[in-house]
Each structure stands twice: as structure tokens, then as C-alpha cells.
Structure 1
Amino acid sequence: MAVRKLSVALDESVAERAASAAATHGVSLSAWLNAAAERALRVEQGLAAVREWEQEHGELSPEALTWAEQVIASVKSS
């Protein structure tokens, strides 16, 4: 896998917590940041898909949103 070296600036508290999280998971800070970026990109992709769906079908109903929140909560707790 090709990698690109970058120089990034993080707030001090974010840098400290990220380094601590990486250590907790037994990975390098670079690997932890890469995984965090991948998760953020998946969220962005999902939000874009919802916006696209809503443009075609209309906004999600309150009932559908409640159902989705329940599914997310059940996944988080398992």
C-alpha cells in the first residue's frame, strides 16, 4: 500500500488524546489517525448518500429517524 507522508498540526489536547488512544490500541499514531480519517470519510459518504436519497424521495420521516436511532443504539451497545 502506498503512503504519503504529511505534516499536520493538531491542538495540543487532541494530539495528546490521539496519542493515548493509539497507545491503548497498540498502533502507531499514524495508523490511528489513518483509521480515524477513514471513519470520518465513511460518515461523510453516508451523509452524502442520505442527502441524495432525500432529494429524490423527500425527507426521512420522524418515524424513520427514530427507527434509525434505535438501530444505531443497538449496534453501539453490542
Structure 2
Amino acid sequence: MGSVVKKSISVPEHVWLEAEATAAEENTTVSALIAEAIENLMIVRRGLRAVRAWEREHGAFTAEELAQVEAELSAIEKEAEQ
């Protein structure tokens, strides 16, 4: 895992309770769920920054381009479910 940093955080009670239940169901820890969530959030944000940069250079994606991406993502999701 490498080095870790211990921090104190505050979350709404209902979020914490759901996180505890999810961690128990997945046989993991709330800390692991939080680390995964933060990592996923950073990936999404990097992707959004990349899209904004691309659009600044090339213009906004067209409705047709967005529809094509949605279709491709749907196909990938269906394939992953099998």
C-alpha cells in the first residue's frame, strides 16, 4: 500500500452509516472506501480538466459526438456485465 496519512474528517451521519454498511458488505474498511472514492474523484476531475482543455482548443463537442461517446460507453458497460 505504501505510506498513508492519517487525517480527521467530518461527514454527515447518514453517509458514515452507509459507508460502514458498504465496507462490511465488501469486507473492507471505511478508510479503504474513502481512499478509493477520493482516487476516483481525482480521476474524474483530471478527465474533466482534459475535456475543458480540448474544448478550448478545438471547440465544444457536438451533440453527434456526445451521442457517439454515449453509445460506445453503453456498449462497454454491457460487455463488462457479461
Query: How does the TM-score come out when normalised to structure 2?
Result: 0.86
Cα 1:42–1:28 shift into 2, 3 Å:
same
Q: List gaps (5 residues or longer) in structure 1.
A: none
Q: Is residue 2:11 matched to residue 1:48?
A: no
Percent identical residues? 33
Instruction: Give the structure 2 partner of residue 12 of structure 1.
Output: 13
Q: Counterpart amino acid of 1:25?
A: E
Q: Kindly report the root-mean-square deviation, in angstroms, between the aligned alpha carbons of the 2 structures.
A: 1.1
Query: How does the TM-score come out when normalised to structure 1?
Result: 0.90
Q: Alpha-carbon deviation of 1:74? A: 2.7
Cα 1:18–1:75 shift into 2, 3 Å:
farther
Q: List gaps (5 residues or longer) in structure 2.
A: none
The number of residue pairs the alignment matches comes to 78
Q: Counterpart amino acid of 1:4?
A: V
Deviations 1:37-78 (A, max 9, x none): 100110000000000000011000101111112222233332
Instruction: Give the structure 1 partner of residue 28 of structure 2.
Output: 27
Q: Is residue 2:40 matched to residue 1:39?
A: yes
SS state at 1:15 partner: helix
